[in-house]
Amino acid sequence: MNSSEPYLFDVPAITGAAAKKHFKPLDNPIWTRNKALFIARYLKTFTYVTKHGTYIDAFAGPQHSNSLDISWSAKLVMENEPAWLRKFFLFELDEKKIQQIRGLKDQYIKRISDMKNRDVSVISGDCNSTLPEHLRKHPIKEKEASFCLFDQRSTECDWATVQFVANHKGSKGGNKIEIFYFLAQGWIDRAIKSWKHNAQERCERWWGNDGCHKFLQLSSHERGRRMADRFKSELGYEYAYAFPIQKVGLQGKIMFWMVHASDHPRAPDLMAQAYRHIGAGKGLNAPVDQLELGIL
């Protein structure tokens, strides 16, 4: 409303304590909540197909200070019902977040009465070294449905780590580990430009070769398509699509691209349904018979 236009009624002046009150910005931006809900919703529906699965989270700690909110992907995934995912490999570098993840593990064990054939592993350290090391020691079986989330803030995930996960299984008749890869869009240019030391080396480690700066010359939508194409052409996935995670307002500014890569023929449809579901704002609690899954 223009400030010169009249109001429908007199607006009372703000006085007293309320006039002095300062409000903090939202601790959990809407795009952070949406991407967490998106992942949890997809895994909830996909396990109706698989009835089992292993979940790998390379940056498993909560991204914001409130660990009880709905923006923590690992928490939402571990709370999904039915609890058909049986193994969780949770990696985190921040020691404070490690403590939160261990608390999440304790809650899961209390909720699940029978932990037979289940495993919740919390691994401290840089996922670029700890994740490959852990999978070498605890390889995932070819027929095991498996999902890996790379929810990096900007460029923390080396491309070599993504390659390792993509090649870990799938060569003997099974499917590759499904990957959810978050590509920062809203601030990645600013982040990279701020690097003062080893900028070229860091770019090559993140992108995997010397093509990083050429990639950054692309428009937002071209970046999403380019990254999805890499998962098919370089990593050999049958399906790969980029989903925009947008900021409310500001003409729907794209904050992240979520690239989903899978070999399973049902995966693209289920991911598209999860995306539409979150866009409708229904959250995780809609009855299954309202999802129109066509899988039961």
Say what the pLDDT of residue 296 is. 26
Token readout for 25 is 């910005």
Is it true that the peptide bond before 268 is cis, omega within 30 degrees of 0? Answer: no
Token readout for 250 is 């500001």
Token readout for 60 is 């498993």
Say what the pLDDT of residue 19 is. 39
Query: In this structure, which amino acid lies at residue 235?
Result: L
Nearest CA among 200, 222, 220 for reference residue 210: 200
**Digits of tens for pLDDT over the chain (296 positions)?**
343 333 333 333 434 443 343 333 333 444 567 788 889 999 999 999 999 999 999 999 998 765 456 789 999 999 999 999 999 999 999 999 999 999 999 999 999 989 999 999 999 999 999 999 999 999 999 999 999 999 998 999 999 999 999 999 999 888 999 999 999 998 899 999 999 889 999 999 999 999 999 999 999 999 999 999 999 999 999 999 999 888 764 457 888 899 999 999 999 999 988 888 876 333 333 333 333 333 32
Distance CA 279, CA 282 (A): 8
Other CB atoms within a 10 A radius of the CB of residue 133 amount to 12
Query: In this structure, which amino acid lies at residue 31?
Result: W
Strands (E) across 49-105 are located at: 54-57, 87-92
28 within 8 A of 62, measured Cβ to Cβ: no
Distance CA 170, CA 167 (A): 7
Into which CATH architecture does domain 24-186+220-290 fall?
3-Layer(aba) Sandwich (3.40)
256 within 8 A of 231, measured Cβ to Cβ: no
Distance CA 190, CA 185 (A): 10
* 204: DSSP letter: H
* pTM for the structure as a whole: 0.83
Q: Which residues pair with 147 in a beta bridge?
A: 55, 178
Angle between helix 159-167 and helix 199-207 axes, rounded to 10 deg: 20
216 within 8 A of 192, measured Cβ to Cβ: yes
- Estimate to the nearest angstrom the gap between the alpha carbon of 94 and the chain centroid: 17
Query: In this structure, which amino acid lies at residue 134?
Result: H
198 within 8 A of 137, measured Cβ to Cβ: no
Cα-Cα-Cα-Cα dihedral of 138, 134, 144, 106, to 10°?
100
